[in-house]
Chains A and B, each alone.
Chain A
């Protein structure tokens, strides 16, 4: 069912919890996230089963130089994530081979800001619309997605309703294509405002997991929920209109992984501005996602990635409490 992006796990869970959940046979989960108290900083939490989490480094940031909305992606040769140089409006690319040592390189903000002359959209340069990364192995290409609106800054209703998701492509993080809109939805979703979009490939189909950023008085069925759009044409679409809401309203920043026993799809998403929740389903195309209780870390906007045993050990030994 699930191909290359998820490695296998088995049921040998510990019994230290009232509810026994299968643990990964090898490795575990890394949750890279920020906290409400330290918005934009990078914290690590780990778990063997995806239900019970421990925040490392005694609750301190693991990379003080990082600022952003962490989204770690395993690329061709290393892990990557994007952030900003705090206070300057300069985007940063971070690279690591072991998830412990990260090296930051500045990116040109003009890469993102071409949306202004091309489409009249503005980036907010504090966070650059929480860029996410996807490595398209078929094309050996990196895709960066982010959201921008009419004004850039400003938390107005109109600004959030104007958010659209853009993408650029790169093979080497040195040259980049011009930005384009990722979606062209129709009908009910023609004016869909989207943020926090992640792309994943499952069984040959590409899925964009997104937040519907419209308002509930106009779109009461899906406003401020997490939804999934699919594409059989490639990572860049065309994407079909997204399915129904898979979460209640006021959820965002979704991240997708397989369960420890590979039996279920898990979407963690933030019930902002409070904590993360876990939604599970037997199929990525299901319209029936159930919320499961889990002992999440004190986290806001982040991503969950599966890591090998060696990586798990390196992370936990470096940042042990």
Chain B
């Protein structure tokens, strides 16, 4: 059954994603994250593989069954509370309906994700999106709109016909939809914000895309969601809230837009800017634009082109994005990068980008001009990164690997999509070459020579 879902979702992916990458052998490229050495569930070790790289166990469970966990020291933060009632340090009662379930370990969050083997409505309902996480992790655990990992689609527990419950951590700027199957992109399989009456609209609202998004009174925390498809309502119960904070730029308070703390400022090279209440700024600011003067004191010197910049603080990761959206290669002062599976250098090795998107600050970065026609950006790139370059913050201004040649070939490659009908074609993506290692890189695009490379890893010929 799982194989069928995978085929369906892969097929959908090809049809819906705007960019695909060169075939990557994920088993080789991705780390195989082992489960904790001594974890066992009802005496059985987590030795089955799920989603290609995750370890776990498939179990037949009955409602009310007491299950024994060993090798875990924090059961309440490891198990999803809507599926499990923790009884003791080593025991938990299963709350779901009788059936076969996959219990999958995520080494990144040190949490177990429970999901039904048969991922299908009306027995199951899923949550997928950005900026949410396992309630025990108390941080973002999803990699975004995806179904490639157990962390990307959360199974809600059916409590009665048409009624589903789930406990989830929601961060600033979250977006999600409910999905009737382990797939997305098809309207009939989605339950959007327009489909439900939200009983606490001050906490969760909706947008024009049908996503559930933060309401005007939202603060990050853990929430209990109840979806009732009999009367088409969403009830939001508050479990734990993080108190809001104020951050400052040059002494003035930044403004929250629900997702980011925001400040607009005119900057020119050499300006000293003070960031207040950030703690340290060395890991918050992009090194491309800022030279740190006083990490704890929050002082930094701007080193970009002159302009009116938007400074966005992503409070989920405490990192700052600096951008002047009207700058472009045509104006001689900026290029842009966007893609999937990359991160702000200050939060490496976390993936902070959530998808192909040139509008959200965390999904695209301005590349600083280093000389005429040459632009740089520093970002974290995991083994499965996939990015494109643009001459302006506009999809129509793509000038990526169909224009610039990745060098050296061992490190970077141009993306190719093998269309089963028309054959291979270049996608314009920059992806990993055979010897690429995950890490933080300063990537330089040289539109004079039409090459792209990582600074310190390749020297162009004169």
Contact = CB atoms under 8 A, between A and B. Distances in A.
Interface of A: 36-37, 39, 65, 85-92, 105-111, 113, 126, 153-157, 174-175, 272-274
B226 to A, nearest CB: 23
Which among A89, A113, A274 has the greatest number of chain B C-beta atoms within 10 A?
A89
Contact of B77 (A39, A65, A108, A156): A39
13 contacts: A39-B77, A87-B138, A87-B169, A87-B316, A88-B315, A89-B318, A107-B279, A108-B283, A154-B108, A154-B110, A155-B107, A156-B107, A174-B296
A36 B76 contact: yes
B219 to A, nearest CB: 12
B242 interface: yes
B147 to A, nearest CB: 23
B34 interface: yes
A88 B280 CA distance: 13
A106 B277 contact: yes
B12 to A, nearest CB: 31
State which size class the interface on B falls in. Answer: 35 or more
A277 B113 CA distance: 33
B73 A272 contact: yes
Contacts of A65: 243
A244 B59 CA distance: 43
- Helix, strand, loop or mixed for chain A's interface? loop
Interface in B24-46: 33-34, 36-38
A153 B296 contact: no
A90 B33 CA distance: 25
Contacts of B242: 86-87
B316 A175 contact: no
B431 interface: no
B89 A273 contact: yes
Contacts of A272: 73
- 8 closest Cβ contacts across the A-B interface? A108-B280, A106-B279, A110-B282, A157-B37, A273-B73, A87-B139, A155-B36, A110-B283
Contacts of A273: 73-74, 89
B283 A109 contact: yes
Contacts of B139: 87-88, 126
A112 to B, nearest CB: 10
Which among B89, B280, B295 has the greatest number of chain A C-beta atoms within 10 A?
B280
B347 interface: yes
Contact of B282 (A86, A108, A274): A108
Contacts of B277: 106
A207 B318 CA distance: 37
Given A87-B220, A87-B242, A174 B297 contact: yes
Interface string B420-432: 0000000000000
Contacts of B318: 85, 88-90
Contact of B316 (A88, A105, A111, A113): A88
A94 to B, nearest CB: 13
Given A86-B138, A88-B318, A174-B297, A36 B280 contact: no
A108 B295 contact: yes
Contacts of A108: 279-283, 295-296
Contacts of A92: 279
Contact of B76 (A37, A88, A89, A156): A37
Nearest to A64: B243
B171 interface: yes
B317 interface: yes
Interface string B288-317: 000000011100000000000000000111
B110 A274 contact: no
B278 interface: yes
Contacts of A274: 89
Contacts of A36: 74, 76, 89
A106 B280 contact: yes
A37 B220 CA distance: 21
Which among A89, A105, A155 has the greatest number of chain B C-beta atoms within 10 A?
A155
A90 B279 contact: yes
Given A107-B279, A110-B282, A154-B110, A89 B77 contact: no
Contacts of B317: 88-89
A149 to B, nearest CB: 13
A109 B74 CA distance: 25
B78 to A, nearest CB: 10
Nearest to A274: B89
Contacts of A110: 280, 282-283, 295
A8 to B, nearest CB: 38
Contacts of A156: 34, 36-37, 107
A113 B282 CA distance: 10
Contacts of B38: 157
A9 B89 CA distance: 37
A85 B244 CA distance: 12
A109 B280 CA distance: 7
B54 to A, nearest CB: 13
A39 B76 contact: yes
